[in-house]
């Protein structure tokens, strides 16, 4: 310990730290409010997201075009997943192998069970060697352990040398993005922070000058620091090598110039071989920044020169708990590329200070409970709209959306459901009670709807000022809420679809087998939009399909599941499976078809996962068998009917004034992989003009109850979608999922926009001859 | 390796390095390499820094007399501070990888490494026979070099273009901590050069 800092009483340093708390220590609600007001953040992320999507796609396409399908994104990510899974499975052996090789090369290994253990080891090492200045290259593991404030409280100055990390450090902020730490800041803000910290005027406009200043400032730190601290992108067991990727070149200086090099890395960074690491290099650089390679990738195996020390701190801090969990161990595959942040519609609106704790983005929502406790995640996880986009770009195939729902259900178990959700889901799980309640409300809603299809600012009128109604009026301000239909679909079809002989029309081509379909409505179509269901049924009937409607069908449970209420979801899942099995038996139906892709995903994917988790083998088998029969409406029409030669008896468009733009619902494109089906019908079968909107596959902002809990986030996402749709000049906005359609048509109604919003089934039904 | 395959590899290497912001050249001999370096704008002051004992390097050592012959003063690298922001540095690489436009530096000595870390323009020599197609081809070589033994390489780096950042408003800026210019020179192998 040297004199110049032992003179500083630690308490004073600690209180300074308190005076400038880093932002994640603010309560979630405050962080979110700050983020929503931050125009810079919003415009920076809104510009970034589409350009990242495009360049990422290009760079993977280039690799595949040059080297073949073994180098496709899908193939490479399956390869890396296998390698990472192997490392997780064989972690004890890999640790032993890594340790033996690294120690043989002269490195010192320390296994830290907790964040405190890791921090203490590093601080004591500094104190033993009289080091009071440390340079760091970017390491999320040290953010996780809050190493900087730990060192500063002990009089050790830690300087971040990654440019963005340093500016964040000077601003007393956390990185808001794992790869681009200050994506939320403008050049003017960077100039201001630099000017204030350096005590002289630095350009607020010229980025090159700002970078040049940082180069000079850091050069002094590099040459004077006693210790360099880095993270690791991978730890190769076969040789005891640490791999570090940087673009700026600071990583090589941090690991070379000071006499002591400390690596801090989670156990999840272990990987078997250099060959595995090469696949990681490709996927990480391309997923993170759409680069072929980062500028510098360094491989260090023990100290390289006499007198140099290398210490490797292997961090557990909750990772063993993750590894022991059959679901969450998948999250240990993460390589911290932040693609799941970049693709996330909520992240795009609020940034990483609100969408996450220290780790941000979808993966942040998944790992935070293990590293920083469930409470730290309670707020951030509620921002996930369950759009599933993150899973499609994850380079190691982590099932992020379902892990986030698992976290949500843990939050619900710990804190309980809000009373209103408890009442609603409890009622939905009791079909007769639910039915009576909806019928009651379809009358009782009259003062709010005045007989219209929406509860809107207009229809509410002065009623909206009544205290109990005000929250509803607030919600309806930017998106009119749907009214319950006077007669649900189940009533409208009663007695019309039960006869086996009726409706078999002559339009079926001879080569199309006579098909029977069991129609699954989903609550939204049944109770709110029966006209969508009727349209779907009419289209199928017009192709000669016999359609049956099981009257005992109820909610599939998706809405409870998405709110973290697994208990009620299980009840509804069992009801639905039983009802549909019975209906299949009675009607001998070939398919169960739904025009709600969200429910189709629940029936085909969520149930299986749910009963796997609960280890209920009997139900699991029944869920699997049922899932084989279930299909969404657009696929059924396109891939079963049309593909087998059925003729849709429609008027082809003749100079009609209809221009269509298509919204890919998240569940349709991300979970079911639908893309061409509806487009084929619109263009080839109906002969209508289709104009693609920008970002057609980005969420509309509905996200179940998220649009109620985080109305302001949802409103921003919705407006992007509607603006994109309108920018095409289309007259009709079509999709295949009633949740999106409800949300978007409510937005159109509230804002007085002109575009019509309709289900693909309605678009076809309008044109039936 | 056939001449055609080699030319194709270099084309790919050049294309990839260029999109990472780096320069590359293919030359027939070290004499040609020396001429190329001497004519580069980074050599305006007529100085270049090389790793200690570079002149004794079995493969690259003979370039030094050629450089001197072009009127260039050669300095052997010393402490990091003495190398910092020197206008030009020269070192040799173990490999070049066409797929990514990367070169592999593998030097234990700090003085050798700072040449590639702290100079403003970094020239790198690689043998044509060490230009390999894919990262996967490099994996086995990396393992061999990292393995314990008398010639264990403790510190290796893939370098792919100059130092860069896009942290501020995603504005690409070259030369943050490392070199602002990277110039890779692929040199035909001696045997082939003689033929």
Based on the domain organization, do A205 and A314 belong to the same domain? yes
Is the Cα torsion angle A496, A502, A504, A506 positive or negative in sign?
negative
Under 8 Å between Cβ of B50 and B76: yes
Question: B76 pLDDT exceeds 90?
Answer: yes
Largest separation between any pair of C-alpha atoms in chain A: 97
Confidence of residue A511 (pLDDT cuts 50, 70, 90): low
Counting the structural domains of chain A, the total is 4
Q: Does B146 touch chain A (CB under 8 A)?
A: yes
pLDDT for A137-147, tens place per residue?
Answer: 999 999 999 99
**Nearest to A666, CA basis, from A631, A715, A717:** A717
Same-domain status, A37 and A48: yes
A171 touches chain B (CB under 8 A): no
Place of tokens 């059959």: A326
Q: For residues A736 and A642, give the distance between their C-alpha atoms in angstroms, rounded to a whole number.
A: 17
Task: Count Cβ atoms within 10 A of the Cβ of residue A195 and give its class: 0-12 exposed, 13-18 middle, 19 or more buried.
Answer: middle
Rounded distance, CA B171 to CA A371, Å?
Answer: 33
CA separation, residue A610 to residues A565, A624, B99 (Å): 12, 11, 43
pLDDT at B178: 87
b/e string for A29-46 if b means 16 or more Cβ within 10 A? eebbebbbebeebbebbe
pLDDT at A641 over 70: yes
| φ, ψ (nearest 5 deg) of residue A49 | -55, -55
Rg (CA), chain B: 16
Is the pLDDT confidence value at A418 over 90?
no
Q: Is the separation of the CB atoms in B29 and B193 below 8 Å? A: yes
Q: For residues A197 and A207, state if they share a domain.
A: yes
Return the CATH number at B158: 3.40.50.10420
Q: State mean pLDDT over A64-84.
A: 96
Q: Is the pLDDT of residue A16 over 80?
A: no
Rounded to the nearest angstrom, the minimum Cα separation between A739 and chain B is: 35
Would you tell me how many other CB atoms lie within 10 Å of the CB of residue A115?
Answer: 21
Q: Do residues A612 and A706 both lie within one domain?
A: no
Q: Tell me the nearest-neighbour CA distance from A334 into chain B, angstroms.
A: 21
Locate the chain A residue with the closest alpha carbon to B167. A164
Cα–Cα separations (whole angstroms), residue A230 to A1, A139, A254, A612: 22, 6, 7, 40
Residue with tokens 């004077």: A224
Structural domain for A101, as ranges: 26-319
pLDDT given for residue A441 in this prediction: 86
Tell me which chain B residues have a C-beta less than 8 angstroms from the C-beta of A180.
Answer: 166-167, 170
Is A179 in CB contact (< 8 Å) with chain B? Answer: no
CB A594 within 8 A of CB A522: yes
Name the H helices within A328-430: 339-342, 345-354, 361-372, 374-381, 389-393, 400-415, 419-428
Residues A162 and A281 in one domain: yes
What is the chain A residue with the closest CA to B109? A305
Contact B173 A222 (CB under 8 A): no
Check residue A382 and give its pLDDT. 94
Closest residue on chain A to B103 (Cα)? A296
More confident position, A644 or A398:
A398
A44 has a chain B CB within 8 A of its CB: yes
Most confident residue range from A7-11, A481-485, B2-6, B23-27: B23-27
Cross-chain CB nearest to B165 (options A183, A187, A211): A211
pTM of the predicted model, to two decimals?
0.91
Provide the CB-side half-sphere exposure for A23 (13 A, CA).
27
Let me know whether A470 and A587 are in one domain: no
pLDDT of residue B1: 45
Tens-place pLDDT, residues A17-71? 333 445 657 899 999 999 999 988 888 898 899 999 999 999 999 999 999 999 9
A295 touches chain B (CB under 8 A): yes
Rounded to an integer, what distance in angstroms lies between the CA atom of residue B189 and that of residue A294? 29
Percentage of chain A exceeding pLDDT 90: 79
Final residue before a domain boundary, out of A482, A512, A529? A482
Contact B168 A248 (CB under 8 A): no
Q: Are residues A165 and A265 in the same domain?
A: yes
**Number of domains present in the structure of chain B:** 1
Confirm whether A370 is domain-assigned.
Answer: no
- Specify whether the CB–CB gap between B50 and B111 falls below 8 A: no
Mean of the per-residue pLDDT values for chain B? 92
Residue A13 pLDDT greater than 50, yes or no: no
Tell me A203's DSSP state: -
Which residue of chain A is at minimal alpha-carbon distance from B144? A239
Question: Is A386 within 8 Å of A704 (Cβ atoms)?
Answer: yes
Residues A304 and A176 in one domain: yes
Select from B117, B164, B170 the Cβ nearest to the Cβ of A247: B164
Mapped to the 3 state alphabet, what secondary structure does A122-137 carry? HHHHHHHHCCCEEEEC
A762 burial (CB, 10 Å; 0-12 / 13-18 / 19+) is: buried
As a whole number of Å, the CA-based R_g of chain A is 29
User: For residues A265 and A144, what is the distance between their CA atoms, to the nearest angstrom?
Assistant: 10
* A222 shares its domain with A80: yes
Give the pLDDT of residue B3: 47
pLDDT at A1 over 80: no
- Strands of the sheet with A516-520, listed across from one edge: A546-548, A516-520, A591-594, A630-632
Residue B136 touches partner A, C-beta closer than 8 Å: yes
List the CATH number of the domain containing A665.
3.40.50
Asked whether the beta carbons of A102 and A301 are under 8 A apart, the reply is yes
Cβ-nearest to B152 among A105, A257, A295 = A105
Q: What is the mean pLDDT of residues A204-224?
A: 92
Q: Is A562 left (phi over 0), alpha (psi -120 to 50) or beta?
A: alpha
Q: B86-104: per-residue pLDDT in tens?
A: 999 999 999 999 999 999 9
Instruction: Estimate to the nearest angstrom the gap between the alpha carbon of A48 and the chain centroid.
Output: 17
- Residue at A347 is within a domain: no
Give the Cα separation of A686 and A688 in Å (integer).
Answer: 5
Task: Report the pLDDT value the prediction gives residue A10, as an integer from 0 to 100.
Answer: 35
CA distance B102 to A665: 41
**A270 shares a domain with A135:** yes
| Rounded CA separation A662/A729 (Å) | 12
Average pLDDT over residues A162-191: 92
ipTM score for this prediction: 0.96
Last residue of a domain, one of A292, A319, A346: A319
Q: pLDDT by residue (tens digit) across B45-56?
A: 999 999 999 999
A424 and A277 housed in the same domain? no
What is the torsional sign of CA A277, A282, A283, A288? positive
Given A286, A319, A352, which residue is the final one in a domain? A319
| Residue reference for tokens 């799980």 | A429
Per-residue pLDDT at A451: 84
What CATH number corresponds to the domain at position A136? 3.40.50.10420
A48 touching chain B per CB within 8 A: yes
Cβ contact A486:A470 at 8 Å = no
Res. A286: pLDDT tops 90? yes
A182 vs B contacts (CB less than 8 Å): 167-168
For residue A11, pLDDT over 80 is answered with no
- When pLDDT is averaged across residues B167-171 and rounded to a whole number, the result is 87
Tens-place pLDDT, residues B102-142: 999 999 999 999 999 999 999 999 999 999 999 999 999 99
Mark whether A189 and A306 lie in a shared domain: yes
The boundaries of the domain holding residue B88 are 3-194
**Chain A environment of B175 (Cβ under 8 Å):** 211, 215
- Identity of the residue in B136, B160, B167 whose CB atom sits nearest the CB atom of A164: B167
């Amino acid at each position: 310990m040297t004199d110049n800092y032992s003179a500083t009483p630690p308490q004073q340093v600690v209180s300074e730290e308190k005076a400038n708390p880093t932002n994640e220590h603010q309560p979630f609600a405050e962080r979110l409010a700050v983020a929503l007001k931050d125009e810079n953040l919003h415009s920076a992320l809104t510009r970034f997201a589409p350009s990242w999507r495009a360049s990422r796609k290009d760079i993977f396409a280039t690799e595949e075009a040059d080297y073949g399908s073994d180098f496709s994104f899908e193939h490479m990510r399956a390869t890396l997943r296998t390698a990472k899974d192997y490392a997780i499975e064989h972690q004890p052996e890999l640790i032993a192998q890594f340790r033996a090789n690294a120690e043989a090369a002269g490195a010192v290994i320390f296994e830290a069970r907790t964040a405190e253990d890791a921090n203490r080891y590093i601080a004591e090492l500094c104190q033993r060697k009289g080091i009071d200045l440390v340079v760091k290259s970017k390491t999320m593991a040290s953010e996780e352990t809050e190493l900087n404030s730990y060192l500063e409280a002990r009089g050790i100055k830690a300087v971040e040398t990654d440019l963005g990390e340093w500016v964040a450090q000077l601003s007393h902020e956390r990185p808001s993005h794992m790869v681009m730490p200050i994506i939320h800041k403008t050049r003017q803000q960077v100039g201001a922070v630099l000017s204030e910290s350096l005590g002289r005027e630095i350009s607020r406009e010229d980025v090159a000058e700002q970078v040049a200043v940082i180069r000079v400032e850091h050069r002094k730190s590099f040459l004077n620091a006693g210790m360099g601290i880095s993270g690791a992108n991978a730890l190769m067991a076969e040789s005891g090598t640490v791999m570090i990727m940087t673009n700026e070149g600071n990583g090589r200086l941090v690991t070379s110039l000071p006499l002591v090099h400390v690596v801090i890395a989670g156990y999840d960074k272990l990987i078997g071989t250099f060959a595995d690491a090469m696949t990681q290099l490709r996927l990480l650089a391309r997923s993170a920044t759409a680069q072929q390679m980062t500028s510098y990738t360094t491989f260090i195996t023990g100290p390289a020169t006499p007198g140099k020390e290398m210490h490797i701190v292997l961090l557990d801090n909750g990772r063993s708990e993750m590894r022991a969990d059959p679901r969450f161990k998948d999250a240990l595959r993460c390589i911290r590329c932040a693609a799941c942040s970049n693709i996330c519609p909520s992240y795009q609106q609020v940034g990483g200070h609100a969408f996450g704790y220290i780790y941000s983005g979808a993966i942040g929502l998944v790992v935070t409970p293990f590293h920083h406790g469930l409470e730290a995640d309670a707020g951030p996880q509620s921002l996930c709209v369950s759009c599933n986009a993150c899973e499609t770009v994850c380079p190691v195939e982590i099932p992020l959306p379902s892990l986030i729902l698992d976290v949500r259900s843990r939050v619900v178990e710990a804190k309980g459901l809000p009373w209103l959700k408890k009442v609603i889901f409890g009622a939905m799980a009791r079909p007769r009670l639910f039915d009576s309640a909806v019928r009651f409300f379809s009358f009782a809603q009259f003062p709010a709807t005045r007989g219209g299809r929406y509860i809107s600012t207009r229809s509410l009128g002065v009623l909206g000022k009544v205290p109990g109604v005000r929250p509803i009026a607030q919600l309806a301000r930017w998106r009119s809420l749907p009214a319950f239909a006077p007669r649900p679909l189940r009533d409208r079809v009663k007695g019309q679809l039960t006869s086996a002989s009726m409706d078999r029309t002559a339009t079926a081509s001879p080569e199309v087998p006579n098909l029977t379909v069991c129609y699954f409505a989903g609550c939204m179509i049944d109770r709110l939009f029966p006209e969508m269901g009727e349209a779907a049924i009419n289209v199928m009937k017009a192709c000669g399909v016999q359609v049956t409607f099981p009257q005992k069908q109820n909610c599939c449970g998706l809405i409870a599941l998405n709110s973290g209420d697994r208990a009620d979801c299980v009840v509804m899942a069992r009801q639905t499976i039983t009802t549909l099995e019975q209906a299949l038996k009675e009607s001998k139906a070939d398919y169960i078809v739904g025009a709600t892709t969200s429910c189709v995903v629940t029936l085909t994917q969520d149930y299986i996962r749910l009963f796997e988790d609960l280890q209920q083998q009997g139900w699991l088998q029944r869920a699997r068998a049922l899932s084989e029969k279930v299909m969404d409406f657009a696929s059924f029409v396109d891939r079963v009917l049309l593909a087998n030669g059925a003729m849709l008896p429609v008027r082809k468009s003749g100079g009609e004034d209809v221009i269509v733009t298509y919204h890919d619902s998240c569940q349709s494109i991300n979970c079911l992989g639908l893309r061409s089906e509806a487009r084929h019908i619109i263009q080839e079968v109906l002969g209508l003009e289709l104009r693609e909107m920008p970002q057609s596959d980005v969420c509309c902002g509905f996200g179940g109850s998220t649009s109620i809990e985080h109305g302001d986030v949802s409103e921003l996402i919705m407006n992007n979608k509607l603006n994109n749709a309108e920018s095409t000049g289309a007259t009709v906005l079509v999709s295949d999922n009633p949740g999106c359609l409800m949300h978007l048509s409510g937005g159109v109604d509230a804002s007085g926009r002109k575009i019509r919003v309709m289900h693909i089934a309605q678009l076809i039904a309008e044109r039936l001859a | 390796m056939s001449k055609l395959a080699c030319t194709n590899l270099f084309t790919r290497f050049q294309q990839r390095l260029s999109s990472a912001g780096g320069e590359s050249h293919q030359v027939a001999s070290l004499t040609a390499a020396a001429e190329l370096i001497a004519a580069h704008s980074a050599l305006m002051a007529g100085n270049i820094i090389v790793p200690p004992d570079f002149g004794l390097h079995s493969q690259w050592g003979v370039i030094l007399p050629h450089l001197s012959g072009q009127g260039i003063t050669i300095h052997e690298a010393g402490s990091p501070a003495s190398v910092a922001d020197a206008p030009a540095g020269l070192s040799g690489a173990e490999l070049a990888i066409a797929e990514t436009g990367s070169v592999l530096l593998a030097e234990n000595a700090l003085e050798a490494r700072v040449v590639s870390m702290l100079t403003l323009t970094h020239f790198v020599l690689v043998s044509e026979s060490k230009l390999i197609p894919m990262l996967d081809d490099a994996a086995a070589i990396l393992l061999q070099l990292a393995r314990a033994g008398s010639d264990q390489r403790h510190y290796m780096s893939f370098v792919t273009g100059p130092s860069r950042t896009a942290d501020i408003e995603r504005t690409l800026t070259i030369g943050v901590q490392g070199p602002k210019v990277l110039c890779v020179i692929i040199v035909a192998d001696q045997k082939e050069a003689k033929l």
